[in-house]
Chains A and B, each alone.
Chain A
Amino acid sequence: MDALVVGTIIKIVLVLLIVSALAGFGTYIERKVLAFMQRRLGPAHVGPFGLLQIAADGIKLFTKEDIIPQHANKFIFSLAPVITAATAFIALSAVPLFPTFVIPESLPLIGGAIVPSIIADVNIGVLFVLGMMAAGLYGPLLAGMAQANKWGILGSARTAVQFLSYEVVTGLSVLAPIMVVGSLSLLDFNNAQTGGVGSWLIWQQPIAFILFLIAGFAETNRTPFDLLEHEAEIISGYVTEYSGLRWGMFFIGEYANMFTISILAAVIFCGGYGDIGFVPGWLALLLKVTFFFFLMLWVRASWPHIRPDQLMWLCWKVLMPLAVINIVITGIVVMI
Protein backbone atom coordinates (compact mmCIF):
# COMPACT_ATOMS: atom_id res chain seq x y z
CA MET A 1 0.00 0.00 0.00
CA ASP A 2 0.94 3.62 -0.42
CA ALA A 3 3.28 4.80 2.35
CA LEU A 4 1.18 7.90 2.98
CA VAL A 5 -2.07 5.94 3.29
CA VAL A 6 -0.54 3.58 5.87
CA GLY A 7 0.85 6.53 7.81
CA THR A 8 -2.52 8.32 7.74
CA ILE A 9 -4.36 5.24 8.99
CA ILE A 10 -1.84 4.82 11.81
CA LYS A 11 -2.31 8.45 12.75
CA ILE A 12 -6.13 8.21 12.69
CA VAL A 13 -6.10 5.19 15.02
CA LEU A 14 -3.56 6.80 17.34
CA VAL A 15 -5.47 10.10 17.55
CA LEU A 16 -8.77 8.30 18.24
CA LEU A 17 -7.27 6.12 20.98
CA ILE A 18 -5.04 8.74 22.59
CA VAL A 19 -7.63 11.52 22.67
CA SER A 20 -10.31 9.20 24.07
CA ALA A 21 -7.90 8.05 26.75
CA LEU A 22 -6.76 11.61 27.42
CA ALA A 23 -10.37 12.54 28.16
CA GLY A 24 -10.18 10.16 31.11
CA PHE A 25 -6.75 11.34 32.14
CA GLY A 26 -7.91 14.94 31.70
CA THR A 27 -10.57 14.50 34.39
CA TYR A 28 -7.95 13.19 36.80
CA ILE A 29 -5.67 16.17 36.10
CA GLU A 30 -8.65 18.52 36.36
CA ARG A 31 -9.69 17.17 39.73
CA LYS A 32 -6.13 17.24 41.08
CA VAL A 33 -5.43 20.78 39.85
CA LEU A 34 -8.76 22.09 41.14
CA ALA A 35 -8.16 20.34 44.46
CA PHE A 36 -4.67 21.85 44.72
CA MET A 37 -5.98 25.34 44.03
CA GLN A 38 -8.84 24.96 46.51
CA ARG A 39 -6.64 23.36 49.21
CA ARG A 40 -8.22 19.94 48.99
CA LEU A 41 -6.74 16.53 48.22
CA GLY A 42 -8.77 15.48 45.19
CA PRO A 43 -8.95 11.77 44.28
CA ALA A 44 -6.55 10.03 46.67
CA HIS A 45 -7.90 6.60 47.58
CA VAL A 46 -7.87 4.46 44.42
CA GLY A 47 -4.30 3.49 43.54
CA PRO A 48 -1.16 5.61 43.99
CA PHE A 49 -2.07 9.33 44.14
CA GLY A 50 -5.59 8.30 43.13
CA LEU A 51 -4.36 7.53 39.61
CA LEU A 52 -6.53 4.43 39.23
CA GLN A 53 -9.60 6.62 39.74
CA ILE A 54 -9.59 6.88 35.91
CA ALA A 55 -9.98 3.10 35.61
CA ALA A 56 -12.68 3.05 38.27
CA ASP A 57 -14.61 5.82 36.52
CA GLY A 58 -14.18 4.04 33.19
CA ILE A 59 -15.56 0.77 34.53
CA LYS A 60 -18.46 2.65 36.10
CA LEU A 61 -19.27 4.40 32.81
CA PHE A 62 -19.14 1.22 30.75
CA THR A 63 -21.24 -0.89 33.09
CA LYS A 64 -23.86 1.67 34.09
CA GLU A 65 -27.42 0.98 32.98
CA ASP A 66 -28.37 2.85 29.83
CA ILE A 67 -31.64 4.65 30.51
CA ILE A 68 -33.83 6.29 27.88
CA PRO A 69 -36.68 8.34 29.40
CA GLN A 70 -40.21 7.19 28.60
CA HIS A 71 -41.42 10.24 26.66
CA ALA A 72 -38.10 11.05 25.03
CA ASN A 73 -37.62 10.97 21.28
CA LYS A 74 -35.51 7.80 21.26
CA PHE A 75 -33.81 8.25 17.89
CA ILE A 76 -32.68 11.84 18.45
CA PHE A 77 -31.84 11.03 22.06
CA SER A 78 -29.32 8.40 20.98
CA LEU A 79 -28.10 10.45 18.00
CA ALA A 80 -27.09 13.54 20.01
CA PRO A 81 -24.03 12.13 21.87
CA VAL A 82 -22.72 10.68 18.60
CA ILE A 83 -22.89 14.13 16.97
CA THR A 84 -20.82 15.68 19.76
CA ALA A 85 -18.14 12.99 19.73
CA ALA A 86 -18.00 12.61 15.94
CA THR A 87 -17.75 16.34 15.13
CA ALA A 88 -15.07 16.77 17.79
CA PHE A 89 -12.93 14.10 16.13
CA ILE A 90 -13.66 15.36 12.59
CA ALA A 91 -12.48 18.80 13.70
CA LEU A 92 -9.34 17.20 15.13
CA SER A 93 -8.64 15.54 11.76
CA ALA A 94 -7.86 18.89 10.09
CA VAL A 95 -5.53 20.16 12.82
CA PRO A 96 -1.73 19.79 12.47
CA LEU A 97 -0.60 17.71 15.44
CA PHE A 98 3.12 17.08 14.97
CA PRO A 99 5.70 17.60 12.23
CA THR A 100 5.52 15.12 9.35
CA PHE A 101 7.87 12.22 10.00
CA VAL A 102 8.80 8.87 8.48
CA ILE A 103 8.65 5.68 10.57
CA PRO A 104 12.13 4.05 10.48
CA GLU A 105 12.51 1.22 7.90
CA SER A 106 13.78 -1.15 10.59
CA LEU A 107 10.32 -1.57 12.10
CA PRO A 108 8.37 -4.55 10.71
CA LEU A 109 5.10 -4.05 8.76
CA ILE A 110 4.75 -0.28 9.15
CA GLY A 111 8.39 0.68 8.44
CA GLY A 112 8.77 3.50 5.92
CA ALA A 113 5.26 4.81 6.33
CA ILE A 114 4.95 8.60 6.14
CA VAL A 115 2.91 9.98 9.02
CA PRO A 116 1.52 13.35 7.85
CA SER A 117 1.23 16.28 10.21
CA ILE A 118 -2.46 16.78 9.29
CA ILE A 119 -4.76 13.78 8.75
CA ALA A 120 -6.97 15.53 6.18
CA ASP A 121 -5.05 18.45 4.68
CA VAL A 122 -7.87 20.72 3.50
CA ASN A 123 -6.40 24.03 2.41
CA ILE A 124 -8.96 26.02 4.36
CA GLY A 125 -8.12 24.34 7.68
CA VAL A 126 -9.03 27.15 10.09
CA LEU A 127 -12.56 27.59 8.77
CA PHE A 128 -13.15 23.84 8.55
CA VAL A 129 -12.14 23.24 12.17
CA LEU A 130 -14.22 26.15 13.47
CA GLY A 131 -17.22 25.09 11.35
CA MET A 132 -17.04 21.52 12.59
CA MET A 133 -16.78 22.65 16.19
CA ALA A 134 -19.81 24.87 15.62
CA ALA A 135 -21.70 21.88 14.20
CA GLY A 136 -20.74 20.02 17.39
CA LEU A 137 -23.11 22.24 19.36
CA TYR A 138 -25.99 20.36 17.71
CA GLY A 139 -25.21 17.59 20.20
CA PRO A 140 -26.23 19.54 23.31
CA LEU A 141 -29.07 21.24 21.42
CA LEU A 142 -30.68 17.99 20.24
CA ALA A 143 -29.96 16.21 23.52
CA GLY A 144 -31.77 18.87 25.50
CA MET A 145 -34.77 18.95 23.17
CA ALA A 146 -35.17 15.18 22.81
CA GLN A 147 -35.24 14.19 26.46
CA ALA A 148 -38.67 15.59 27.43
CA ASN A 149 -37.22 17.25 30.49
CA LYS A 150 -37.58 20.92 31.37
CA TRP A 151 -33.99 21.23 32.56
CA GLY A 152 -32.94 19.74 29.25
CA ILE A 153 -34.98 22.29 27.28
CA LEU A 154 -33.40 25.07 29.34
CA GLY A 155 -30.01 23.58 28.55
CA SER A 156 -30.65 23.54 24.82
CA ALA A 157 -32.12 27.06 24.89
CA ARG A 158 -28.88 28.17 26.53
CA THR A 159 -26.95 26.29 23.84
CA ALA A 160 -28.64 28.42 21.19
CA VAL A 161 -27.95 31.60 23.19
CA GLN A 162 -24.32 30.66 23.68
CA PHE A 163 -23.84 29.73 20.03
CA LEU A 164 -25.37 32.97 18.79
CA SER A 165 -23.15 34.90 21.19
CA TYR A 166 -19.65 33.54 20.72
CA GLU A 167 -19.76 32.49 17.07
CA VAL A 168 -19.25 36.03 15.75
CA VAL A 169 -16.33 36.65 18.10
CA THR A 170 -14.57 33.41 17.08
CA GLY A 171 -14.82 34.23 13.38
CA LEU A 172 -13.80 37.87 13.71
CA SER A 173 -10.90 37.18 16.08
CA VAL A 174 -9.38 34.62 13.70
CA LEU A 175 -9.86 36.95 10.72
CA ALA A 176 -7.06 39.34 11.76
CA PRO A 177 -4.31 36.66 11.89
CA ILE A 178 -5.66 35.25 8.60
CA MET A 179 -5.18 38.69 7.04
CA VAL A 180 -1.61 38.89 8.37
CA VAL A 181 -0.64 35.41 7.14
CA GLY A 182 -2.69 35.63 3.94
CA SER A 183 -3.84 32.02 3.99
CA LEU A 184 -6.50 29.82 5.55
CA SER A 185 -4.27 26.76 5.79
CA LEU A 186 -3.05 25.87 9.27
CA LEU A 187 0.24 24.64 7.77
CA ASP A 188 0.87 28.14 6.38
CA PHE A 189 0.18 29.58 9.81
CA ASN A 190 2.75 27.23 11.25
CA ASN A 191 5.32 27.97 8.54
CA ALA A 192 4.86 31.72 8.94
CA GLN A 193 6.08 31.51 12.54
CA THR A 194 9.15 29.28 12.25
CA GLY A 195 11.58 32.10 13.10
CA GLY A 196 11.62 31.46 16.85
CA VAL A 197 9.60 33.03 19.66
CA GLY A 198 9.90 36.54 18.21
CA SER A 199 7.99 35.60 15.07
CA TRP A 200 4.90 34.33 16.88
CA LEU A 201 1.68 35.98 15.84
CA ILE A 202 0.71 36.60 19.46
CA TRP A 203 3.07 39.62 19.53
CA GLN A 204 1.44 41.12 16.43
CA GLN A 205 -2.13 40.23 17.39
CA PRO A 206 -2.44 40.24 21.20
CA ILE A 207 -6.08 41.41 21.14
CA ALA A 208 -7.08 38.73 18.63
CA PHE A 209 -5.36 36.12 20.80
CA ILE A 210 -7.26 37.10 23.94
CA LEU A 211 -10.56 37.31 22.05
CA PHE A 212 -9.92 33.88 20.51
CA LEU A 213 -9.21 32.37 23.94
CA ILE A 214 -12.38 33.86 25.44
CA ALA A 215 -14.48 32.64 22.50
CA GLY A 216 -12.73 29.26 22.73
CA PHE A 217 -13.73 28.94 26.37
CA ALA A 218 -17.34 29.63 25.35
CA GLU A 219 -17.07 27.18 22.46
CA THR A 220 -15.90 24.30 24.65
CA ASN A 221 -18.34 25.45 27.35
CA ARG A 222 -15.74 25.76 30.07
CA THR A 223 -16.16 27.94 33.15
CA PRO A 224 -16.88 30.89 33.25
CA PHE A 225 -19.12 30.17 30.26
CA ASP A 226 -20.44 26.69 31.10
CA LEU A 227 -24.07 27.77 30.91
CA LEU A 228 -25.24 24.58 29.24
CA GLU A 229 -24.83 22.34 32.26
CA HIS A 230 -24.53 24.82 35.06
CA GLU A 231 -25.37 22.44 37.89
CA ALA A 232 -26.27 25.11 40.43
CA GLU A 233 -28.98 26.55 38.18
CA ILE A 234 -30.32 23.89 35.83
CA ILE A 235 -29.34 20.52 37.41
CA SER A 236 -27.15 19.31 34.57
CA GLY A 237 -28.74 21.06 31.60
CA TYR A 238 -28.67 19.01 28.44
CA VAL A 239 -27.11 15.92 30.07
CA THR A 240 -29.71 15.65 32.86
CA GLU A 241 -31.27 12.41 31.56
CA TYR A 242 -28.10 10.83 30.17
CA SER A 243 -26.21 8.04 31.89
CA GLY A 244 -23.46 5.57 31.19
CA LEU A 245 -21.72 5.50 27.85
CA ARG A 246 -23.94 8.09 26.18
CA TRP A 247 -22.94 10.59 28.84
CA GLY A 248 -19.35 9.45 28.33
CA MET A 249 -19.54 10.36 24.66
CA PHE A 250 -20.54 13.95 25.48
CA PHE A 251 -17.65 13.95 27.86
CA ILE A 252 -15.09 12.68 25.35
CA GLY A 253 -16.40 15.20 22.81
CA GLU A 254 -15.99 18.07 25.27
CA TYR A 255 -12.42 17.08 26.12
CA ALA A 256 -11.52 16.52 22.45
CA ASN A 257 -12.82 20.04 21.78
CA MET A 258 -10.66 21.38 24.60
CA PHE A 259 -7.62 19.82 22.93
CA THR A 260 -8.64 21.17 19.53
CA ILE A 261 -8.96 24.72 20.88
CA SER A 262 -5.62 24.37 22.71
CA ILE A 263 -3.90 23.13 19.54
CA LEU A 264 -5.55 25.88 17.45
CA ALA A 265 -4.39 28.56 19.89
CA ALA A 266 -0.88 27.08 19.80
CA VAL A 267 -0.76 26.79 15.99
CA ILE A 268 -2.41 30.09 15.05
CA PHE A 269 -0.84 32.37 17.65
CA CYS A 270 2.08 30.62 19.34
CA GLY A 271 4.26 29.15 16.62
CA GLY A 272 2.75 25.65 16.33
CA TYR A 273 5.35 22.91 16.13
CA GLY A 274 8.27 25.16 15.26
CA ASP A 275 11.43 24.45 17.28
CA ILE A 276 12.20 26.76 20.20
CA GLY A 277 15.99 26.82 20.63
CA PHE A 278 17.00 23.33 21.69
CA VAL A 279 13.43 22.13 22.33
CA PRO A 280 12.27 20.01 19.38
CA GLY A 281 9.01 20.99 17.68
CA TRP A 282 6.84 18.10 18.81
CA LEU A 283 7.78 18.70 22.45
CA ALA A 284 7.20 22.44 22.08
CA LEU A 285 3.67 21.81 20.75
CA LEU A 286 2.95 19.37 23.58
CA LEU A 287 4.13 21.91 26.14
CA LYS A 288 1.98 24.66 24.61
CA VAL A 289 -1.11 22.45 24.48
CA THR A 290 -0.51 21.38 28.07
CA PHE A 291 -0.22 25.02 29.10
CA PHE A 292 -3.50 25.98 27.43
CA PHE A 293 -5.21 22.96 28.97
CA PHE A 294 -3.86 24.02 32.36
CA LEU A 295 -5.07 27.56 31.70
CA MET A 296 -8.62 26.24 31.27
CA LEU A 297 -8.43 24.48 34.64
CA TRP A 298 -6.84 27.54 36.25
CA VAL A 299 -9.63 29.80 35.01
CA ARG A 300 -12.21 27.28 36.23
CA ALA A 301 -10.70 27.37 39.70
CA SER A 302 -10.57 31.15 39.93
CA TRP A 303 -13.62 32.60 38.12
CA PRO A 304 -17.35 32.45 38.94
CA HIS A 305 -19.98 31.50 36.37
CA ILE A 306 -21.75 34.22 34.45
CA ARG A 307 -25.39 34.51 33.41
CA PRO A 308 -26.54 33.92 29.79
CA ASP A 309 -27.49 37.58 29.35
CA GLN A 310 -24.07 38.59 30.63
CA LEU A 311 -22.43 36.31 28.08
CA MET A 312 -24.47 37.84 25.27
CA TRP A 313 -23.74 41.36 26.50
CA LEU A 314 -20.03 40.56 26.75
CA CYS A 315 -19.82 39.00 23.30
CA TRP A 316 -21.87 41.51 21.31
CA LYS A 317 -21.20 44.78 23.12
CA VAL A 318 -17.59 44.37 24.24
CA LEU A 319 -15.75 41.66 22.33
CA MET A 320 -17.30 42.14 18.88
CA PRO A 321 -16.54 45.89 18.62
CA LEU A 322 -12.99 45.16 19.87
CA ALA A 323 -12.60 42.48 17.21
CA VAL A 324 -13.90 44.76 14.45
CA ILE A 325 -11.57 47.61 15.49
CA ASN A 326 -8.70 45.11 15.57
CA ILE A 327 -9.54 43.98 12.03
CA VAL A 328 -9.76 47.54 10.71
CA ILE A 329 -6.38 48.46 12.23
CA THR A 330 -4.83 45.22 10.94
CA GLY A 331 -6.25 45.96 7.49
CA ILE A 332 -4.73 49.45 7.44
CA VAL A 333 -1.34 48.12 8.62
CA VAL A 334 -1.38 45.28 6.07
CA MET A 335 -2.24 47.73 3.26
CA ILE A 336 0.61 50.06 4.18
Chain B
Amino acid sequence: MFEQIAFYLFSILTIGLFLVTVFSNNILYAMTSLASGMVLIAGFFFLNGADFLGVVQLIVYVGAVMALYAFGMMFFNVTKTIKENNTSNVTVFVLGVSIALLMVLMFAAPISPEVIFVSAAPEPNATNPEAVGLVLFTKYLVPFEVAAVMLLIAMIGGIILAGKKMDQSLTKTDDENIIQKDIK
Protein backbone atom coordinates (compact mmCIF):
# COMPACT_ATOMS: atom_id res chain seq x y z
CA MET B 1 0.00 0.00 0.00
CA PHE B 2 2.64 2.52 1.13
CA GLU B 3 4.93 1.33 -1.63
CA GLN B 4 2.27 1.95 -4.28
CA ILE B 5 1.54 5.43 -2.96
CA ALA B 6 5.26 6.17 -2.85
CA PHE B 7 5.77 4.81 -6.37
CA TYR B 8 3.03 6.97 -7.89
CA LEU B 9 4.19 10.00 -5.91
CA PHE B 10 7.76 9.56 -7.13
CA SER B 11 6.58 8.95 -10.70
CA ILE B 12 4.42 12.06 -10.85
CA LEU B 13 7.11 14.20 -9.23
CA THR B 14 9.89 12.90 -11.46
CA ILE B 15 7.95 13.32 -14.69
CA GLY B 16 6.74 16.75 -13.63
CA LEU B 17 10.21 17.91 -12.70
CA PHE B 18 11.75 16.69 -15.96
CA LEU B 19 8.95 18.44 -17.88
CA VAL B 20 9.95 21.64 -16.10
CA THR B 21 13.57 20.95 -17.12
CA VAL B 22 12.56 20.73 -20.79
CA PHE B 23 10.03 23.55 -20.98
CA SER B 24 11.44 26.18 -18.65
CA ASN B 25 13.21 29.23 -20.08
CA ASN B 26 14.93 29.92 -16.80
CA ILE B 27 18.31 28.25 -16.29
CA LEU B 28 17.86 28.13 -12.53
CA TYR B 29 14.47 26.38 -12.73
CA ALA B 30 15.66 23.96 -15.42
CA MET B 31 18.75 22.84 -13.56
CA THR B 32 17.14 22.70 -10.13
CA SER B 33 14.34 20.51 -11.45
CA LEU B 34 16.91 18.35 -13.26
CA ALA B 35 18.86 17.87 -10.03
CA SER B 36 15.81 17.12 -7.91
CA GLY B 37 14.42 14.76 -10.58
CA MET B 38 17.71 12.83 -10.56
CA VAL B 39 17.60 12.66 -6.75
CA LEU B 40 13.98 11.45 -6.84
CA ILE B 41 14.92 8.64 -9.25
CA ALA B 42 17.00 7.26 -6.37
CA GLY B 43 13.65 6.78 -4.63
CA PHE B 44 12.66 4.08 -7.17
CA PHE B 45 15.84 2.14 -6.35
CA PHE B 46 15.08 2.41 -2.63
CA LEU B 47 11.51 1.19 -3.21
CA ASN B 48 12.83 -1.91 -4.99
CA GLY B 49 15.29 -2.68 -2.20
CA ALA B 50 18.35 -1.68 -4.22
CA ASP B 51 19.67 0.69 -1.56
CA PHE B 52 23.22 0.66 -2.87
CA LEU B 53 22.25 1.65 -6.42
CA GLY B 54 19.93 4.31 -5.02
CA VAL B 55 22.71 5.95 -3.06
CA VAL B 56 25.09 5.68 -6.02
CA GLN B 57 22.46 7.42 -8.17
CA LEU B 58 22.22 10.14 -5.53
CA ILE B 59 25.97 10.72 -5.17
CA VAL B 60 26.80 10.54 -8.87
CA TYR B 61 24.08 12.89 -10.10
CA VAL B 62 24.47 15.38 -7.26
CA GLY B 63 28.06 15.83 -8.40
CA ALA B 64 27.30 15.76 -12.12
CA VAL B 65 24.55 18.37 -12.01
CA MET B 66 26.73 20.53 -9.77
CA ALA B 67 29.23 20.69 -12.64
CA LEU B 68 26.37 21.67 -15.00
CA TYR B 69 25.47 24.50 -12.62
CA ALA B 70 29.04 25.73 -12.85
CA PHE B 71 28.70 25.97 -16.65
CA GLY B 72 25.31 27.64 -16.33
CA MET B 73 26.85 30.16 -13.99
CA MET B 74 29.62 30.92 -16.47
CA PHE B 75 27.51 31.27 -19.63
CA PHE B 76 24.18 32.77 -18.55
CA ASN B 77 22.69 35.37 -16.29
CA VAL B 78 20.81 32.87 -14.19
CA THR B 79 18.17 35.20 -12.79
CA LYS B 80 16.80 36.19 -16.20
CA THR B 81 14.84 34.05 -18.65
CA ILE B 82 16.77 32.90 -21.68
CA LYS B 83 15.50 33.78 -25.15
CA GLU B 84 16.05 30.66 -27.19
CA ASN B 85 17.01 30.83 -30.84
CA ASN B 86 14.34 28.89 -32.66
CA THR B 87 16.09 26.26 -34.73
CA SER B 88 14.66 24.98 -38.01
CA ASN B 89 11.24 23.38 -37.90
CA VAL B 90 12.55 20.32 -39.74
CA THR B 91 14.85 19.45 -36.82
CA VAL B 92 12.04 19.88 -34.33
CA PHE B 93 9.75 17.69 -36.47
CA VAL B 94 12.30 14.89 -36.97
CA LEU B 95 13.31 14.87 -33.31
CA GLY B 96 9.72 14.94 -32.09
CA VAL B 97 8.56 12.09 -34.34
CA SER B 98 11.57 9.89 -33.57
CA ILE B 99 11.22 10.43 -29.81
CA ALA B 100 7.50 9.62 -30.05
CA LEU B 101 8.33 6.40 -31.96
CA LEU B 102 10.93 5.45 -29.37
CA MET B 103 8.42 6.01 -26.55
CA VAL B 104 5.81 3.83 -28.29
CA LEU B 105 8.39 1.06 -28.75
CA MET B 106 9.48 1.31 -25.12
CA PHE B 107 5.95 1.19 -23.76
CA ALA B 108 4.88 -1.57 -26.17
CA ALA B 109 7.85 -3.84 -25.46
CA PRO B 110 6.46 -5.47 -22.27
CA ILE B 111 3.33 -6.64 -24.15
CA SER B 112 5.11 -9.82 -25.29
CA PRO B 113 6.36 -11.63 -22.16
CA GLU B 114 9.39 -13.24 -23.83
CA VAL B 115 11.07 -9.86 -24.12
CA ILE B 116 11.42 -9.50 -20.36
CA PHE B 117 13.75 -11.93 -18.61
CA VAL B 118 16.43 -11.77 -15.94
CA SER B 119 19.75 -12.24 -17.71
CA ALA B 120 21.83 -12.47 -14.55
CA ALA B 121 19.91 -13.52 -11.46
CA PRO B 122 21.39 -12.06 -8.25
CA GLU B 123 22.69 -14.34 -5.51
CA PRO B 124 19.81 -14.95 -3.10
CA ASN B 125 21.76 -14.24 0.08
CA ALA B 126 24.08 -11.51 -1.15
CA THR B 127 23.81 -8.03 0.30
CA ASN B 128 23.30 -5.10 -2.01
CA PRO B 129 26.92 -4.14 -2.79
CA GLU B 130 27.86 -7.84 -3.06
CA ALA B 131 25.13 -8.54 -5.63
CA VAL B 132 26.19 -5.55 -7.73
CA GLY B 133 29.84 -6.53 -7.49
CA LEU B 134 29.20 -10.17 -8.46
CA VAL B 135 27.26 -9.20 -11.59
CA LEU B 136 29.66 -6.41 -12.51
CA PHE B 137 32.86 -8.45 -12.23
CA THR B 138 31.61 -11.70 -13.77
CA LYS B 139 28.89 -11.41 -16.42
CA TYR B 140 29.38 -7.75 -17.33
CA LEU B 141 33.13 -7.54 -16.88
CA VAL B 142 33.87 -6.59 -20.51
CA PRO B 143 31.38 -3.68 -20.73
CA PHE B 144 32.64 -2.52 -17.34
CA GLU B 145 36.25 -2.49 -18.51
CA VAL B 146 35.32 -0.82 -21.81
CA ALA B 147 33.46 1.91 -19.92
CA ALA B 148 36.49 2.35 -17.66
CA VAL B 149 38.84 2.72 -20.64
CA MET B 150 36.46 5.21 -22.28
CA LEU B 151 36.36 7.30 -19.12
CA LEU B 152 40.15 7.21 -18.97
CA ILE B 153 40.36 8.42 -22.57
CA ALA B 154 37.88 11.20 -21.81
CA MET B 155 39.91 12.22 -18.77
CA ILE B 156 43.17 12.36 -20.72
CA GLY B 157 41.42 14.31 -23.49
CA GLY B 158 40.06 16.76 -20.92
CA ILE B 159 43.48 17.26 -19.39
CA ILE B 160 45.09 17.86 -22.81
CA LEU B 161 42.37 20.32 -23.88
CA ALA B 162 42.35 22.29 -20.63
CA GLY B 163 45.90 21.77 -19.51
CA LYS B 164 47.81 24.77 -20.79
CA LYS B 165 50.62 25.91 -18.54
CA MET B 166 50.41 22.72 -16.51
CA ASP B 167 53.97 23.22 -15.28
CA GLN B 168 53.02 26.47 -13.54
CA SER B 169 50.98 26.27 -10.37
CA LEU B 170 49.14 29.32 -9.09
CA THR B 171 49.24 27.85 -5.62
CA LYS B 172 53.00 27.54 -5.56
CA THR B 173 53.63 31.04 -6.98
CA ASP B 174 54.53 33.70 -4.44
CA ASP B 175 51.82 36.27 -3.73
CA GLU B 176 54.06 39.13 -4.91
CA ASN B 177 54.52 37.58 -8.37
CA ILE B 178 50.74 37.08 -8.75
CA ILE B 179 50.08 40.71 -7.81
CA GLN B 180 52.74 41.91 -10.28
CA LYS B 181 51.10 39.92 -13.08
CA ASP B 182 47.73 41.49 -12.27
CA ILE B 183 49.18 44.99 -12.56
CA LYS B 184 50.73 44.30 -15.95
Q: Please, which residue of chain B has its CB at the minimum distance from the CB of A72?
A: B79
Which candidate, A16-24, A136-144, A287-295, is the interface stretch facing chain B? A136-144
User: For B78, what are the chain A residues with a Cβ–Cβ distance below 8 Å?
Assistant: 73, 145-146
Given contacts A184-B129, A309-B170, contact A73 B79 (CB under 8 A): yes
User: For B170, what are the chain A residues with a Cβ–Cβ distance below 8 Å?
Assistant: 309
Mostly helix, strand, loop or mixed at chain B's interface?
helix
| B59 to A: closest C-beta gap in Å | 4
| Residue A52 lies at the interface, judged by CB distance under 8 Å to chain B | no
User: For A156, what are the chain B residues with a Cβ–Cβ distance below 8 Å?
Assistant: 69, 73
Report which of A79, A135, A157 forms a contact with B62, defined as CB distance below 8 A: A135
| A185 to B: closest C-beta gap in Å | 9
Report which of A124, A137, A146, A313 forms a contact with B66, defined as CB distance below 8 A: A137
| B180 to A: closest C-beta gap in Å | 17
Given contacts A73-B79, A167-B63, contact A157 B70 (CB under 8 A): yes
| A301 to B: closest C-beta gap in Å | 24
User: For B17, what are the chain A residues with a Cβ–Cβ distance below 8 Å?
Assistant: none
Cβ contact within 8 Å between A135 and B58: yes
| Residue B25 lies at the interface, judged by CB distance under 8 Å to chain A | no
Interface residues of B in 73-132 (CB under 8 A from A): 73, 78-79, 127-129
Cβ contact within 8 Å between A135 and B28: no
Given contacts A76-B29, A134-B59, A309-B170, contact A141 B66 (CB under 8 A): yes
Q: Please, which residue of chain B has its CB at the minimum distance from the CB of A156?
A: B73
User: For B69, what are the chain A residues with a Cβ–Cβ distance below 8 Å?
Assistant: 141, 145, 156, 160
Cβ contact within 8 Å between A131 and B59: yes
Chain B interface (Cβ < 8 Å from any Cβ of A): 26, 28-29, 32, 35, 39, 51-52, 55-56, 58-59, 62-63, 66-67, 69-70, 73, 78-79, 127-129, 169-172
